[in-house]
């Protein structure tokens, strides 16, 4: 069975760039019926399917309901969800403050929880199957020292993935996650090479040191996400798949 998304209406958060954008493009290639693409920045993609763009901040407690209502108003249903939006704010036990904790948790855990709640409610009300994919992180296993708060938020999302999968299995609502590690995105390049001042080409140099001789690509992450959204991955549910070449927090 191929990765076929024909007839599916899918919400993707964080779709302006990076992983979310890559998933949107691959979903379109897989024949998705329609996409609801959300981000705090404008979402501008030329795709061969109907698109509803929703600009919103996930720190807004009302954002999940606004996104879900936009999907139902335009397309009358929701068949799938990808929680791809997230922040990787650096914060550890020596420098994190309550504001940092609250913002990170709001975007990385609270918003995905309530988006899942909205989507699950729509699927159950219609008595239809569906699929949810949460973009998680390898840091959920323990976390790099400077990413303690981020690791906690992604650990929460990983637990919610399994909880929702177990709770709604009989409703044929599948919920899986992808624990992403280092992925070669433009955001990652700018963060390290420009913001942290590590210099041009630093990210590629680090990739060359990995077992595969490169970092995982956006396209590889997108292919896995669309597979998990598709019926080809049924009945898989409650799984958090590591897509990385090493484990954060494990001995080298």
Q: Has residue 190 been placed in a domain?
A: no
DSSP string, 48-71: SS-EEEEE--TTSTTHHHHHHHHH
- pLDDT (mean) for 210-237: 95
Q: Has residue 106 been placed in a domain?
A: yes
Q: Which residue has the tokens 């690509």?
A: 217
What's the pTM value of the predicted model, to 2 decimals? 0.93
Name the residue range of residue 112's domain: 9-182+218-243
CATH label of the domain that carries residue 88: 3.40.50.720
Q: What is the pLDDT of residue 194?
A: 85
Phi, psi (deg, nearest 5) at residue 82 = -120, 115
Number of domains in the chain: 1
Q: Has residue 193 been placed in a domain?
A: no
Pick 250 or 89 by higher pLDDT. Answer: 89
Give the Cα separation of 38 and 84 in Å (integer): 10
Tokens of 211: 């077992």
- Is the Cβ–Cβ distance between 236 and 34 less than 8 Å? no
Q: Has residue 252 been placed in a domain?
A: no
- pLDDT (mean) for 25-49: 94
Q: Has residue 35 been placed in a domain?
A: yes
Q: Has residue 54 been placed in a domain?
A: yes
- Is the Cβ–Cβ distance between 58 and 224 less than 8 Å? no
pLDDT band at 45 (very low <50, low <70, confident <90, very high): confident
Q: Has residue 249 been placed in a domain?
A: no
- For the stretch 147-156, pLDDT in tens is 999 999 999 9
- Is the Cβ–Cβ distance between 189 and 182 less than 8 Å? no
Q: Has residue 213 been placed in a domain?
A: no
- pLDDT (mean) for 26-43: 96
130 closest CA partner among 92, 85, 164: 164
- Is the Cβ–Cβ distance between 55 and 38 less than 8 Å? yes
183 closest CA partner among 17, 53, 10, 38: 17
């Amino acid at each position: 069975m191929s990765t076929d998304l024909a007839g599916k209406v899918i919400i993707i958060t964080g779709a302006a760039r990076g992983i979310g954008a890559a998933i949107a493009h691959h979903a379109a290639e897989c024949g998705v019926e329609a996409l609801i693409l959300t981000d705090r920045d404008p979402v501008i993609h030329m795709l061969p399917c109907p698109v509803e763009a929703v600009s919103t901040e996930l720190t807004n407690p009302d954002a999940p309901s606004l996104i879900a209502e936009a999907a139902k108003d335009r397309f009358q249903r929701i068949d799938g969800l990808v929680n791809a939006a997230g922040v990787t704010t650096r914060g550890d036990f020596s420098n994190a403050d309550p504001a940092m904790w609250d913002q990170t948790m709001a975007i990385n855990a609270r918003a995905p929880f309530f988006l899942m709640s909205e989507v699950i409610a729509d699927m159950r009300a219609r008595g239809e199957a569906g699929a949810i994919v949460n973009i998680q992180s390898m840091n959920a296993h323990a976390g790099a020292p400077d990413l303690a708060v981020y690791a906690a938020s992604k650990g929460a999302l990983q637990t919610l993935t399994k909880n929702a999968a177990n709770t709604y299995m009989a409703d044929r609502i599948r919920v899986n996650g992808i624990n992403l590690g280092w992925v070669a995105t433009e955001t990652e390049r700018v963060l390290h090479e420009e913001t942290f001042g590590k210099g041009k080409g630093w990210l590629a140099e680090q990739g060359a040191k990995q077992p595969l001789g490169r970092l995982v690509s956006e396209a590889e992450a997108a292919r896995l996400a669309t597979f998990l959204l598709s019926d080809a991955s049924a009945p898989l549910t409650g799984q958090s798949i590591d897509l990385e070449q090493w484990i954060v927090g494990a001995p080298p």
